[in-house]
Structure 1
């Protein structure tokens, strides 16, 4: 009987395990996770999951894993891979055999230099345990300092304000959301936060962050200091590639995989935040995506190819973020765009369409209350996948239905 091991019990690993059964795989499946919980959703940790601070939002109940004959080994860390013997050694000394192996090891928050790992008042947000620790400090009137103006930092700021905490956010770059979000939308989000009472400091270099008595302190390079009850660092993520690198697998901004998610070893696949892969809609450009939907899509694709389907990447990158009552959605990658067209919609919502030098739609970025931009971003995603070259004037006009452009 075949054995498939999945290292990494997050979104990607769990989705892959169930997808293997849906593909008809009848062998043994074991899902190995370092945390004590069953696989759970991570996006809620900076949103409602943080505010509620109860149990995590589990991807599936224990009974579903049992019914699908998926063995879940929690609280276990894979220490090494022996590719010749096709075994994985765990931290407790156990050795597990595999016929095929999927690495879904994810990514970890980038640490701020010089901060001790055991600092109680300086935290990073990645796990449910992190969310519990941060939530405990966010009492009404508490002061939270956030280092980093990306999605996680801004979502955390919105949740903290809803809980009644004071928030100051420090970003070293000239604006928030510098990575992958157009300046026009970033400015909208920044103003939204300021209206809600968040103090945003951009272009500030940080000399140090440190615990101070019952709180913590941010020391800026210009000599200014920011006192807080807690500091949360959100300055990006680092792919967990150490296990793969030690096994001799190719590494390139993550575990390098081909269009089928196969690593440099034909019996080992990698998927999700930990891997870099070629994007067919962007000339095969190699990218690494830290996104919920990408983890789902690649979990399903890895499962298909672990059982020999030979399928290739076809999805367009898609991201979303909740900011108070507004939702930001992005389809595609805007890098390389030469023309940007704005479409204004009802309720203050708008979408930016990004076209390359040949007029091909390569990305769409939108923001609006609730699901105001969801339908058009989905249609834009389909236009991107089709390689469409829509008329910019038609894109700009709210009277033009994108479904009509797609049909054309």
Structure 2
């Protein structure tokens, strides 16, 4: 019987396993994860997942996998792939044969160089276990320091303030959200955090980090020092490519895949945070996306192609972040944009459109309460996918529906 093996039981791997059955694949499906839990959603970890007693949001329950005859192995790690024998070896010494293999190994938090944490006061936020370890620090009378002013750091800051902890956020660059978010929107978010009492310090450089039984001390340049009960490091992530590299697969800012998500071995696919792929929407530029929707979509597409489909669709990059009552959404990539057009949707919601020198829409960034910008960002995403060059005056005019520009 044909056997498909999926390494990585996160969003991407779980969606791939479920999709194989939904497409009628009748062979063996084995989903393997290094965590001891069933696959769960990661976006809530920096939000409601930090609340006391909240269990993970399961992608599917145990009964669902059993009903679909999907074997889920948890608490084991793949250590080696034998491409000639088409087997995978695991940390418990067992091996598993495959006809086709999907690597959905994800990414891990980037660590501070030469900084250890034997006392557990220097942490990251990637897993449910991480949220459990942070919960005792997220309450009134505690101080949490966060290194990194990206989505994870800022979402954690908002959650910590709602739970009563004081927050000091340290960012090495001149502003928060330097990666992919316009300065105008970043400034608005920074002001919102400041209004909640978050102490944001940008342009700082760390000289050393020391933890004791009582606290963690962060020494900054210019003799500044920050003391907190815990330091959470959120300075980006590193794709988990070691397994693929040991197997001799091509690596290029992640496991290198083609437009069908195949690696350099035609029987091995890769998807999600661990892989880089050519984007037809941006001149076949090789991208590696770290987002919930990308992981989900690529898992579904990889499963289809493992069963013989020829799905080479490439989605437009899309990101979102919830902080307090605000939701930020970004579609596309603004690199290379020469013009920014603002579209005011209401007094507290707007979208920025990013156009290149030829007038092609490259990206759209919006912010507002709740779902205020969701529809416009979705339509902008469709305009980007279609390669449209919309009239800037029409983009700026909220009375002209983006749907009209898409139909034009």
TM-score, normalising length from structure 2? 0.99
Give the Cα separation in 2 of the matches to 1:266 and 1:52. 45
Counterpart secondary structure, 1:177 = coil
Q: Is the 8 A contact 2:137 2:165 kept in 1?
A: no
Alignment of 1:16-31 (within 5 A): 16-31=16-31
Give the Cα separation in 2 of the matches to 1:291 and 1:95. 31
Partner of 1:367: 367
1:309 lines up with 2:304 in the alignment: no
Partner of 1:341: 341
Q: Which runs of 5+ in 2 are unaligned?
A: none
User: Aligned pair in 2 of structure 1 residues 9, 374: CA closer, same or farther (>3 Å)?
Assistant: same
Q: Deviations over 1:11-63 (max 9, x none)?
A: 00000001111111110000000001000000100011112442111111100
Counterpart secondary structure, 1:222 = helix
Q: Is the 8 A contact 1:53 1:131 kept in 2?
A: no
Partner of 1:386: 386
Partner of 2:129: 129
Give the Cα separation in 2 of the matches to 1:371 and 1:307. 37
Partner of 2:9: 9
1:273 lines up with 2:273 in the alignment: yes
How many angstroms does 1:212 deviate by? 2.5
Partner of 1:260: 260
Give the Cα separation in 1 of the matches to 2:210 and 2:276. 34
Partner of 2:105: 105
User: Aligned pair in 2 of structure 1 residues 9, 170: CA closer, same or farther (>3 Å)?
Assistant: same
Q: Deviations over 1:155-206 (max 9, x none)?
A: 0000000000000000000000011111111111111100110000000001
Give the Cα separation in 1 of the matches to 2:357 and 2:67. 52
Alignment of 1:112-123 (within 5 A): 112-116=112-116, 118-123=118-123
Give the Cα separation in 2 of the matches to 1:118 and 1:134. 15
How many angstroms does 1:117 deviate by? 5.1
Q: Is the 8 A contact 1:360 1:388 kept in 2?
A: yes
Alignment of 1:8-157 (within 5 A): 8-116=8-116, 118-157=118-157
How many angstroms does 1:115 deviate by? 2.0
Give the Cα separation in 2 of the matches to 1:68 and 1:295. 21
Counterpart secondary structure, 1:337 = coil
How many angstroms does 1:141 deviate by? 1.9
Partner of 1:331: 331
Counterpart secondary structure, 2:286 = strand
Q: Which runs of 5+ in 1 are unaligned?
A: none
Deviates more, 1:114-123 or 1:201-210: 114-123
Alignment of 1:210-359 (within 5 A): 210-359=210-359
Give the Cα separation in 2 of the matches to 1:60 and 1:34. 17
Give the Cα separation in 2 of the matches to 1:280 and 1:174. 32
The alignment of Structure 1 onto Structure 2 pairs a total of residues equal to 408
Counterpart secondary structure, 1:152 = helix
Give the Cα separation in 2 of the matches to 1:84 and 1:273. 26
Give the Cα separation in 2 of the matches to 1:13 and 1:122. 29
Deviates more, 1:373-382 or 1:216-225: 216-225
Note the aligned Cα RMSD (angstroms).
Answer: 0.9
How many angstroms does 1:346 deviate by? 1.2
Q: Deviations over 1:281-328 (max 9, x none)?
A: 011000100000000110011001001101103311110000110000
User: Aligned pair in 2 of structure 1 residues 343, 258: CA closer, same or farther (>3 Å)?
Assistant: same
Give the Cα separation in 1 of the matches to 2:26 and 2:170. 51
How many angstroms does 1:237 deviate by? 0.1
Q: Is the 8 A contact 1:347 1:368 kept in 2?
A: no
